[in-house]
Amino acid sequence: MSKTASATANHTDSNAKNTSVNPPHYLMWFRRDLRIHDNTALAALCERANADNAQLSAVFFLTPAQWQAHDMSLVQVDHIARTLPLLAQHLQEQLKITLIVQVCPSFSECIDALTTLCKDNAISCIMANHEYEGNEINRDEQLNERLTKDDIEFVRWHDQCILPPQSITTNDDSMYQVFTPFYKKWRQTLDVSDLQLHTAAGVNEKQNDELTLAKNSASSVKEIENLGREIMNDYQKTLQSTEALQHVNMEAQLTQARDAYPAGEATACQRLEEFAAEDINDYDVSRDMPSLQATSQLSAYLTIGAISPRLCYVQASKVQEKLHGNDGDNDDINRWISELAWRDFYRHVLVDKPALIRHQAYKDETDKQINWSYHEESFKAWCVGKTGVPLVDAAMRCLNATGFMHNRLRMVTAMFLTKDLLIDWRLGERYFMQQLIDGDFASNNGGWQWSASTGTDSAPYFRIMNPFSQAKTHDANGAFIKTWLPELKSIPTNVLHSEDKLRKALSKGGQFADLDYPVPMVEHKKARQLAIAEFKK
């Protein structure tokens, strides 16, 4: 890692007072970093605890009111609830640290709870990894003020990105507005760096003095499992009573997501190894084929921090070196690394422009000038997958059924909503968050604004994806479409991929008019012209 990056990477925010209680007791606060490997705050805290012969505990807060405010999906909440008992077990086995899981519906309750936990257990130092969303930043600042008064240290580390926010800047020290030059600098910085993974060393033997805990907490693996399930079930009931989500079979979605995403960092690391051993070598081409499972499927783990993004980079670089030598370059591996850089990029953008958290457009003028539609029926047709555009509908039904959507299809469906239907990108952004297992504010907001031409896209607004030609290119034999829209099985692909032919075939008197599937709700060519006119204005 370059000096500059390293300096920023190691930068911490701390109120930097240390009262020495004898023996001291320190606390690791887990947030979106549910892992032991390469966890910057955890490794730093273990090192300090070893040096000070301190007792170490850890805490995680279940915050249902906050999840709701963030539109967090049920499958993501479930993924966290399934991950926590495994984390508790491994913390105990590998580091002799007890994990406390406590229910604190809102962030203000978290502040009170943490303060009480520290007082009751004579904790003098808390460490955590930075979160970059607005509410989280406010919470941390308020907490810092409270803890300072009590002489308790609160240290935060940059951990969510491969290179931390504000470390990749233009020559005049500002944030890049588009991805490509950002990526160039990001790669250059990494090329000369010695990126370190942080290993948490086992803490001293004397651990687990009796802890004083609040009523709504759990600290054994079994209790954590039960508490997580209980809170998850309550959350499911809340979401099920939301009218806009009535069409989603949440029970079935949960079953699919549990199957596709077994919990825990061990699974995530194994998935990374398997991907690096095989699919990464064909990534550049296969990544755009939704009917193949050719991408890493790691986003759900990266989002909750069950795998380290730096580990992903290091693993990919190792494959690059092994197969292609020190100076080796490989399109497939480079492409995958560039996706990890996109993830960093959107976090850096969010830190640079905090107004994004309030769902303001990145390009301010688009908020004032574009006359977005809020047409309820059209939005509903998009949500449930009944627009009459097969690739869009197949993608949306896949999302509703599994909690996941392929990257190419996220772009196609987002462009269809914002360009063909001219519906405000914020509605789609919200709907994705409510469904995705990998829902992540920075990447989701970035992806939506990119698709809606309100964000960091360098391409002009008139480059609008045609969902029929996208289907022809990326689902040539219609395998993906027919998996999710079995009612279209009998339609030949040349009809499926042609808007005119499909419209004719599905219309009254047409060959497939009897099928229970709507005629395309808009004509792409006309809708495209309308969108361009709106943006030109």
| Residues with a known catalytic role | 339, 342, 372, 407, 425, 448
Measured distance CA(308)–CA(389) in Å, rounded: 38
Per CB under 6 A, 302 contacts ligand FAD: yes
CA 472 to chain centre: 29
Query: Cβ(282)–Cβ(294) under 8 Å?
Result: yes
Find the shortest distance in angstroms from Cβ 344 to ligand FAD.
8
Per CB under 6 A, 167 contacts ligand FAD: no
Per CB under 6 A, 77 contacts ligand FAD: no
Per CB under 6 A, 193 contacts ligand FAD: no
What's the one-letter identity of residue 60? Answer: F
Measured distance CA(481)–CA(58) in Å, rounded: 46
Measured distance CA(183)–CA(149) in Å, rounded: 42
CB within 8 Å of 262: residues ≥ 6 apart: none
Closest residue to ligand FAD: CB criterion: 447
Per CB under 6 A, 470 contacts ligand FAD: no
* Residue from 407, 469, 493, 511 binding ligand FAD (CB under 6 A): 407
If you ran DSSP here, which 8-state letter would residue 298 be given?
A: -
Per CB under 6 A, 159 contacts ligand FAD: no
What's the one-letter identity of residue 500? Answer: D
- What Å distances lie between residue 280 and 14, 84, 273, 305, 381, CA to CA? 40, 29, 10, 21, 36
Return the SS3 of 138. helix
Per CB under 6 A, 182 contacts ligand FAD: no
Measured distance CA(60)–CA(49) in Å, rounded: 19
Nearer to ligand FAD by Cβ, of 91 and 405: the residue is: 405
Query: By CB under 6 A, what part of segment 308-347 binds ligand FAD?
Result: 339-340, 342-343, 346
Measured distance CA(282)–CA(285) in Å, rounded: 6
Query: By CB under 6 A, what part of segment 429-468 binds ligand FAD?
Result: 432, 436, 438-440, 443-444, 447-448, 451
Per CB under 6 A, 40 contacts ligand FAD: no
Per CB under 6 A, 24 contacts ligand FAD: no
Find the shortest distance in angstroms from Cβ 98 to ligand FAD.
31
Give buried/exposed letters for 336-359 (b at 16+ CB in 10 A, else e).
Answer: bbebbbbbbbbbbbbbbeeebbeb
Nearer to ligand FAD by Cβ, of 250 and 300: the residue is: 300
Q: Which stretch binds ligand FAD (CB under 6 A): 34-42, 170-178, 192-200, 407-415?
A: 407-415
Find the shortest distance in angstroms from Cβ 256 to ligand FAD.
16
Measured distance CA(529)–CA(466) in Å, rounded: 12
Nearer to ligand FAD by Cβ, of 339 and 352: the residue is: 339
Residue with tokens 């170490």: 56
Phi first, then psi, for residue 448 (nearest 5°) are -70, -45
Find the shortest distance in angstroms from Cβ 325 to ligand FAD.
24
Site string for ligand FAD, 342-381 (x = CB under 6 A): xx--x-----------------------------------
Find the shortest distance in angstroms from Cβ 263 to ligand FAD.
16
Residue 57's closest CA among 45, 39, 69?
A: 45
Query: Cβ(453)–Cβ(387) under 8 Å?
Result: no
State the DSSP H helix or E strand holding residue 464, giving kind and residue range, or none if neither: none
* Residue from 2, 89, 216, 297 binding ligand FAD (CB under 6 A): 297
* Residue from 269, 298, 381, 506 binding ligand FAD (CB under 6 A): 298
# residues near ligand FAD by CB under 6 A:
27
Phi first, then psi, for residue 242 (nearest 5°) are -80, 120
Per CB under 6 A, 264 contacts ligand FAD: no
Q: Which stretch binds ligand FAD (CB under 6 A): 155-163, 409-417, 492-500, 528-536?
A: 409-417
Phi first, then psi, for residue 152 (nearest 5°) are -110, 130
What's the one-letter identity of residue 280? Answer: I
Find the shortest distance in angstroms from Cβ 379 to ligand FAD.
15
- Binding site residues, ligand FAD, CB under 6 A: 287, 295-299, 302-303, 339-340, 342-343, 346, 407, 410-411, 414, 432, 436, 438-440, 443-444, 447-448, 451
